[in-house]
Structure 1
Amino acid sequence: MRVGPQDDPVSSIAVLADDLTSAGDGAAPFRRAGHQAKVLLSTVAEGDAGSLGGSVYEAGAPALGGVVAVDLGSRLLDEPAAVTRAERAAREFAAADLLVKTVDSTLRGHVAAEIRAAHNGSGRRAVVVAPAFPAEGRTTVRGIQHVHDVPVHDTEFARDPAHPVRCSDLARLLPEAQHLEPEQFEKLPELIGQGGLFVCSAAMDIDLDRLVSSAPRARDVLWVGSPGLAAALARRHFRTPEAARPGLPRARRPLMVVGSANPATRRQLDRLRTRADVATAASADDPTTAVHALRQASAPVLVVHTPDERRTTSGSLTDDLAHAVRELATAGTVDGLVLTGGETAVAVLEALGSKGIDLVDEPEPGVARGVLLSAPRIPVLIKAGGFGDEGTLDRLCRLLMEGGPVS
């Protein structure tokens, strides 16, 4: 669906994300709407003298008319470091016609601190915050964030091992903000002109469409939200899609890489293990054992995952997983990847020496599909740990093996 009329055309779009899956989720709707897009890792650490924007453009940002989605890696930092990185990134990309700061739809991470920092760096008059993602059951009702009608602090995300969610109330997270219900969005032109921070409830995609249509000029706003808001912005700021896009090569030996501890992903892993054409190995302590087992396997689909029972720190488990993937991919044992979990995806891309992916499309909500920006130039799908139903990994595996045309 297109939302129009398109009376506020944009040429350059920047998406600033706190992890890799959020960067992919934020860019994918714009790719679907006809924009070229790249999802890039940020290689600039806190205190580096170099420019974040410069490092990103050196990594191969698209020409005018495209989307640059940058993983700032800030969710894994402590709050002061996350604030520094978010403010710097917003300053570097302040000239973009459309500036989007993504936040997790379950409010994990340094949400409030990064919003304030990005506002300071962007110089934008107003900040519009709308974290709802209705397609995945994440809604904002009277300022309270829900997952399938349950306040997020009462869901499994409250037990997230890295970023437990303690508060669902955006008024508590952002007490300086003015709260708006969908029937109040008509006030936005005047409110944006006055400046400030606005938290917007939304339970359906039509609410988000109404929200973005209410802003007279996208350039006046720092947009803050999850893939739901990105999709609404893409529907409003669409381009004429290319007549034809090249299909992706078919993966004959895909590798499914499961690093997320989220229960949704572990259920998807359990479902994948039931397939007769799948060989699995856990990567822990000594990843060479997993590499050897998968190289010897005759099954066409390979799966490497962190242990079902965690025995070491999350960081070392992720490093072991990335080491195993590098060994398998660089040796040509596999020719396609499905990466689950933002931290896992970053570790794998870094291990492969890739600065990101050339984004192709979004085959399912919360899933980015593209090609590695460096050798081996193989297809890759990246999925956030908390997204999808029990059959999601099974479907993504089949999609990778089918190749061919893209949506």
Structure 2
Amino acid sequence: MKLGVIADDFTGASDIALTLAEGGMDCVQYVGTPKTVAASDVGAGIISLKSRTIAPSEAVEQSLTACDWLLAQGCAQIVFKVCSTFDSTPEGNIGPVAAALGTRLGENQIIVCPAFPESGRSIYQGQLFVGDRPLAESSMKDHPLTPMRDSDLRRVLGAQTDWPVAHIPAATVFQGAEAIRAALPAGPAMIIVDAIRDADLRAIAQSATARKLLVGGSGIAIGLPQKFEIAPAAPRWRPTHGPGVVLSGSCSSATRGQVAAYVSAAPSREITPEAVMEENVDAEVLANWVIAQDSPPLIYSSADPAAVLAAQSRFGRDALALAIEGFFTNLTAALVRRDIARLVVAGGETSGAVVAGLNTTSFSVGPRIAAGVPMLRPDGRDIGVVLKSGNFGGPDFFAEALIRLTKQ
């Protein structure tokens, strides 16, 4: 294994797995840290954790365990994959995990760049933009678990770590890899690096060939396969036919638009917080309903920020999140028992719950459906799976993904 990735959620793991697979690397996405040795033909191992919103100490422990396993497989470089909108809280978990990984790897200068231009995430003068809006003015300001209300990544990261936080501006990045290397601070630091184009990300990757640790979104992986002299190649895929379903727990504005578009054309059931908390919805009954439909239905708990906040106030944020995730885990397990063949999932936390219900240890990585969203196949299972970050994909993503799973 040449390259190791530690991702703080499941959609982020599949996002960067797609980038590396399209770069020609043989990728496997693991569910948690494996207990056994990796196959000899794996070029990049991507470990999916569910560590974005857990206690920082737990996130650090899980990430270090993943790091040790990747090092034991021979990885020369580790990427800590975070969301392209830098989803986190003042306590972490990006800063604490990055610091712990840096210490474990003996790396005292850590490049941090969550930019993903293809999906409209760019960094300029240390500020993160979502499309043409600063992060703090985007829909991320109302995220139910990690509201992002500061666009300056230097301040965001600085609140999470005792390490000095430096910055390399776009004017330097435009000059290429040598200029980036020359601009690195003399002492220990985490360094926010501007990037607004794919060319910038390739320059950053080239500047970091000797670095043992990188922190960023999937964009930072664009130039990494070149380090290993690997040529770009299209990932392979075996079509999947049979019953399908869309499961959505994301409350992002993009996903709510996708839900609205799909509800108008397909059977659907909304799962309310009240129904879950009062145990008025049965996963087995709902799974029977899904399989009985003539076209793939939608099961969703997505709601607007005001409704989410009201439900959190009534039931408690953590208790509500745990209950809804548990419901999606149980529903997925029930659907698998009924031979579901196509699963399209929206939302990082929901994806983690669905993966738990699939009860698999790894995924093979197929071609893209949209930027940052590949098709996945649980190893040893004839099921096509799509794990979509909330903000990714166009208005008709759900229908397009279900169809794409059936194509070569």
TM class, shorter-length: 0.7 to 0.9
- Match for residue 61 of structure 1 among 21, 35, 38: 38
Q: After TM superposition, give the deviation of residue 397 of structure 1 in Å.
A: 1.9
Q: Does 1:130 pair with 2:120?
A: no
The aligned residue for residue 75 of structure 1 is 52
> What letter matches 1:274 in structure 2?
S
Q: 2:334 aligns with which of 327, 330, 333?
A: 327
Q: State whether residues 331 and 357 of structure 2, in contact with CA within 8 Å, keep that contact through their aligned partners in structure 1.
A: no
Match of 1:177 among 153, 165, 186: 165
Tell me how far apart the structure 2 counterparts of residues 76 and 61 of structure 1 sit (CA, whole Å).
28
CA distance in 1, matches of 2:229, 2:18: 12
Q: 1:62 to 1:145 in 2, by over 3 A?
A: farther
Residue of structure 1 equivalent to 2:375 = 369
Match of 1:46 in 2: none
Shift of 1:145: 0.9
Question: 1:246 and 1:18 mapped to 2: Cα distance?
Answer: 26
Mapping for residues 264-303 of structure 1, pairs under 5 Å = 264-275=254-265, 278-283=266-271, 284=276, 285=279, 286=281, 287-297=283-293, 299-303=294-298
Taking structure 1 as the reference length, the TM-score comes to 0.83
Equivalent residues of 1:144, 1:151 under 8 A apart: yes
Gaps of 5+ in 1: 1-10, 43-51
CA displacement, residues 217-275 of structure 1 (integer Å, 9 cap, x when unaligned): x2424111101112232455452467x86532232322111121222112101111222
In the other structure, the counterpart of 2:81 is 102
Q: Is the 8 A contact 2:115 2:220 kept in 1?
A: yes
Q: Map Cα deviations across residues 21-51 of structure 1 (whole Å, 9 max, x no partner).
A: 1111122111112211111121xxxxxxxxx
With 377-386 and 136-145 compared, the bigger mean Cα shift is at 377-386
Q: Which residue does 1:340 correspond to in 2?
A: 346
Q: What is the identity, as a one-letter code, of the residue corresponding to 1:143?
A: G
Q: Which residue of 1 is the match for residue 179 of structure 2?
A: 187
Supply the distance in 1 between the matched residues of 2:139 and 2:157 (Cα, whole angstroms): 23
Aligned to 1:45: none
Task: Give the C-alpha shift of residue 211 in structure 1.
Answer: 1.8
Partner of 2:251: 261
* Paired residue secondary structure (1:290): helix
1:380 aligns to 2:385 (yes or no): yes
Unpaired runs of at least 5, structure 2: 159-163
Amino acid at match of 2:180: L
Match among 115, 126, 129 for residue 146 of structure 1: 129
Q: Structure 1 pair 157/20, CA: closer, same or farther in 2 (3 Å)?
A: same
Is the 8 Å Cα contact of residues 28 and 42 (structure 2) preserved in structure 1? no
* Percent of residue pairs bearing the same amino acid type: 23
Aligned twin of 1:201: 194
**Corresponding residue for residue 226 of structure 1:** 217
Correspondence for 2:9 among 2, 19, 22: 19
